[in-house]
Chains A and B, each alone.
Chain A
Amino acid sequence: MLAYTIKRLGLSVVITILAITLLFLIIHMIPGDPVSTMLGPKASPELRAALEEKMGLNQPLPVQIGLFFVNMLRGDLGVDVFTNRPVSQIVFGQLPYTLALIGTAIGWSAPLGIALGCVSAVRRDSFIDRLTGILSVSVIAVPAFVVSLYSLLFFAVQLKWFPAIGAGKSGDLPDQIWHLVLPAFAIGLSWVGYIARLVRASMLEILGENHIRTARAFGLPENWITFRYALRLAILPTITVIGVGMGFLLSAAVFTEIVFSRPGLGKLVIDSITTRNYPVVMGSVLFSTLIFVASTTISDLINALADPRIRNST
């Protein structure tokens, strides 16, 4: 396991470096430059040069990228163009909201999806299987921002069961949880259906495998066969999908944070892009990338932990 972990973490580092370099290049290709944004079109050439010097924009691109990495490792992601606050501080301020949102969304949808998929596979073609099938396919098709809008209109505006906007008073945990319900519901809903389908398919595949027949031939209790012998294996593809699905979760969070006017990385990205606040764009996209790389790494490590064939493959 140690060899696998080291190899996998090494890969993650390489991916992160490549992704950040790419991100840097992409931001540089966006038309419009930060200096004019900050100083306005009528700024004197001297002033412009001074600011370019300060932001390192007069250096050759490879040097800029190198400097960016050096600064990043020191925890310095530059400063907000307008407020001069450190970008890292701004991003760290928003990060918990997004992590809480995504965590809650996957935290309710994954267990429910797994349970439904499991029941559907074990009671194949039963009423509950068919019902789950129909509901799954319907919710998979609906994008998170549509669910966000409708649940906002219905549960918050119409029924007034839940608050409509914001993330709740800081320091007031029950209030914050209360504000989390609808957005987490909106993001998680399609995942319930998706995971249920996925788990059902892999459970059916595993339940048809020869080793399950062996377990049955020894008269093992059916719940051992379902959970210890089958689900343990059937869940692995789902963990991979959730790991990779972090990208979709993040993009769903962008829309949902906007619809519910919640603070968070998504809202930060959109706000900073519209104001051409490049250091903040860079910082928030950087953190989204790190979240994505971390989640795929974790899901791979879980897979390796659960499946000896993977961890011994090195």
Chain B
Amino acid sequence: MMAAPVLDIQNLSVRYTTERGNLQALRGVNLTIPEKSIVGIVGESGCGKSTLISTIIQLLANNAKITSGDILFKGESLLDKSEKQLRGLRGTEMSMVFQDPMQTHNPVLTIGRQMIDIQYRDPLSKADKRQRAAEMLTLVGIPDANQRLDQFPHEFSGGMRQRIAIAMALMAQPSLLIADEPTTALDATLEVQIIKRLRELQAEIGCSILFISHHLGVIAELCDSVIVMYAGEAIEQGSVRDVFHTPAHPYTRALLQCDPGNIKEKTRNLPTIPGEIPDLVNLSPGCIFQSRCAQTIPQCAVAHPEFHTSKTGHVAACHLLQPEVQAQ
């Protein structure tokens, strides 16, 4: 029998209460992270990536509410767990690298203090904890780690803070590491190095990673499978190979065309997908992508598309993939 996946999200919907009404930030999201695998999430900003990971670690904003679905961590529902049980998982079984490196550390405590604090459960001496923290910083490429532990966050660049955040998340040796755009502040060379290091450490620790990025090249480099999100829905998922080589959803195709890695001539303005993300407060019926889709058929305006499997493990939610439409 196969072990339960590390994370199994079923039909998850989350909404935010706002002044304008209920904002349906996530709708019917399904996602599975098998053991020791690296899963990527891509999508434009505002599509619900950060909401999704806040839901996984159960640290949602006050105005957020889970309206349907379940999140199983190693087979057990996180929604059933008490705050105390959740705290027991955080920083041990699951760890996080949040978006926005500039605000992710406490501004009045040294990096060393913060890295020692998160090891509070470990039966080590303070000196040993400090030693571990310094080793971790060295691993993510921060020189003079021992001295730098005594510095405060504002004394580090954005890229360094991002690497410190990665070091802290790895130090927990979790079963699942969740990283929300963890390489945005790094230049290309450093990004490649960090991605390599992340892969090595993932293999060493034997953890799974949920990696969020809008950088398709990084996802292709690092991940085994990928989920494409659009306006609160997971519209396509499959192995990196399948999704990137034979994208099934028009949105995925558009996204791939806009990726800097796919653009041959040098331009200053990156192409973007024309149109805007639909308003998540007043959702219209039918397909979520219809307003920006170049290939709509009448069905798109009325019915929400089902998932269609184009190959084992590769699914996409688009009316064009129905066998009868494909036949035409």
Which residues of A does B touch, CB under 8 Å?
209-222, 224, 228-229, 232-233, 306-309, 312
Residue of B nearest to A236 (CB): B108
Give Cα A94 to B172, complex, Å: 60
* Max count, chain A CB within 10 A of own CB: residue among B105, B109, B155: B109
Asked if A211 contacts B118 (CB within 8 A), the reply is: no
Q: Which of the candidate stretches B23-31, B95-103, B126-134, B234-242 sits at the interface with the other chain? A: B95-103
- Within the complex, what minimum Cβ distance (angstroms) separates B215 from chain A? 21
Give Cα A275 to B104, complex, Å: 62
Residues of B within 8 A of A212 (CB): 106
Asked if A218 contacts B95 (CB within 8 A), the reply is: yes
Residues of A within 8 A of B87 (CB): 219, 221-222
Give Cα A218 to B87, complex, Å: 8
Asked if A306 contacts B108 (CB within 8 A), the reply is: yes
Residues of A within 8 A of B98 (CB): 210, 213-214, 217
Give Cα A209 to B102, complex, Å: 11
Asked if A217 contacts B108 (CB within 8 A), the reply is: no
Interface residue ranges of B52-108 to A (CB < 8 Å):
57, 59, 87-92, 95-96, 98, 100, 103-108
Residues of B within 8 A of A308 (CB): 107-108, 152, 154-155
Asked if A214 contacts B57 (CB within 8 A), the reply is: no
Residue of A nearest to B61 (CB): A208
Q: Is the interface of B mostly helix, strand, loop or mixed?
A: loop
Residues of A within 8 A of B100 (CB): 210
How many pairs of A and B residues are in contact by the CB < 8 Å rule? 78
Asked if B107 contacts A217 (CB within 8 A), the reply is: no
Residues of A within 8 A of B170 (CB): none
Give Cα A211 to B98, complex, Å: 9
- Within the complex, what minimum Cβ distance (angstroms) separates B59 from chain A? 6
Residues of A within 8 A of B59 (CB): 213, 216-217
- Within the complex, what minimum Cβ distance (angstroms) separates B50 from chain A? 11
* Max count, chain B CB within 10 A of own CB: residue among A215, A219, A309: A219
Given known contacts A217-B57, A308-B152, is B96 in contact with A232 (CB within 8 Å)? no
Asked if B104 contacts A214 (CB within 8 A), the reply is: yes
Give Cα A233 to B109, complex, Å: 10
Give Cα A212 to B106, complex, Å: 7
Task: A217-B96, A220-B91 given; name 19 further pairs at CB < 8 Å.
Answer: A209-B103, A211-B106, A213-B98, A214-B96, A214-B98, A214-B105, A214-B106, A214-B165, A218-B95, A218-B168, A219-B90, A219-B92, A222-B87, A229-B109, A232-B108, A306-B108, A308-B155, A309-B152, A309-B154
Q: Is the interface of A mostly helix, strand, loop or mixed?
A: helix
Give Cα A217 to B100, complex, Å: 15
Residues of B within 8 A of A312 (CB): 152, 154-155
Given known contacts A210-B103, A211-B106, A214-B104, is B96 in contact with A220 (CB within 8 Å)? no
Give Cα A217 to B118, complex, Å: 10
Given known contacts A308-B152, A309-B152, A312-B154, is B90 in contact with A211 (CB within 8 Å)? no
- Within the complex, what minimum Cβ distance (angstroms) separates A220 from chain B? 6
- Within the complex, what minimum Cβ distance (angstroms) separates A134 from chain B? 23
| Contact residue among B57, B105, B107, B120 (Cβ-Cβ distance under 8 Å from A220) | B120
Asked if A218 contacts B172 (CB within 8 A), the reply is: yes
Asked if A218 contacts B91 (CB within 8 A), the reply is: yes
Asked if B104 contacts A219 (CB within 8 A), the reply is: no
Residue of A nearest to B57 (CB): A217
- Within the complex, what minimum Cβ distance (angstroms) separates A130 from chain B? 17
Asked if B106 contacts A307 (CB within 8 A), the reply is: no
User: Does B117 count as interface, using CB distance less than 8 angstroms?
Assistant: yes
Pairs A–B under 8 Å by Cβ, sample size 30? A209-B103, A211-B105, A211-B106, A211-B107, A213-B98, A214-B98, A214-B105, A214-B165, A216-B59, A217-B59, A217-B90, A217-B96, A217-B98, A218-B90, A218-B91, A218-B95, A218-B117, A218-B118, A219-B92, A220-B117, A220-B120, A222-B87, A224-B117, A232-B108, A233-B106, A233-B107, A307-B107, A308-B152, A309-B108, A312-B155
Give Cα A182 to B57, complex, Å: 52
Residues of A within 8 A of B90 (CB): 216-219
The 4 closest A-B pairs by CB, nearest first: A218-B91, A219-B90, A219-B91, A210-B103
- Within the complex, what minimum Cβ distance (angstroms) separates A255 from chain B? 38
Asked if B120 contacts A211 (CB within 8 A), the reply is: no
Asked if B95 contacts A217 (CB within 8 A), the reply is: yes
Residues of B within 8 A of A215 (CB): 106, 117
> Interface readout for B157-184 with A: 1 if CB under 8 Å, 0 if not?
0000000010010001000000000000
Give Cα A306 to B118, complex, Å: 21
- Within the complex, what minimum Cβ distance (angstroms) separates A205 from chain B? 13
Give Cα A312 to B118, complex, Å: 26
- Within the complex, what minimum Cβ distance (angstroms) separates A73 from chain B? 39
Given known contacts A217-B90, A218-B90, A224-B117, is B96 in contact with A309 (CB within 8 Å)? no
- Within the complex, what minimum Cβ distance (angstroms) separates A217 from chain B? 4
Give Cα A212 to B108, complex, Å: 12
Given known contacts A211-B103, A214-B98, is B108 in contact with A219 (CB within 8 Å)? no
Interface residue ranges of B219-275 to A (CB < 8 Å):
none
Residues of B within 8 A of A224 (CB): 117, 120
- Within the complex, what minimum Cβ distance (angstroms) separates B316 from chain A? 32
- Within the complex, what minimum Cβ distance (angstroms) separates A287 from chain B? 34
Give Cα A5 to B91, complex, Å: 39
- Within the complex, what minimum Cβ distance (angstroms) separates B87 from chain A? 5
Give Cα A138 to B137, complex, Å: 52
Residues of B within 8 A of A232 (CB): 108-109
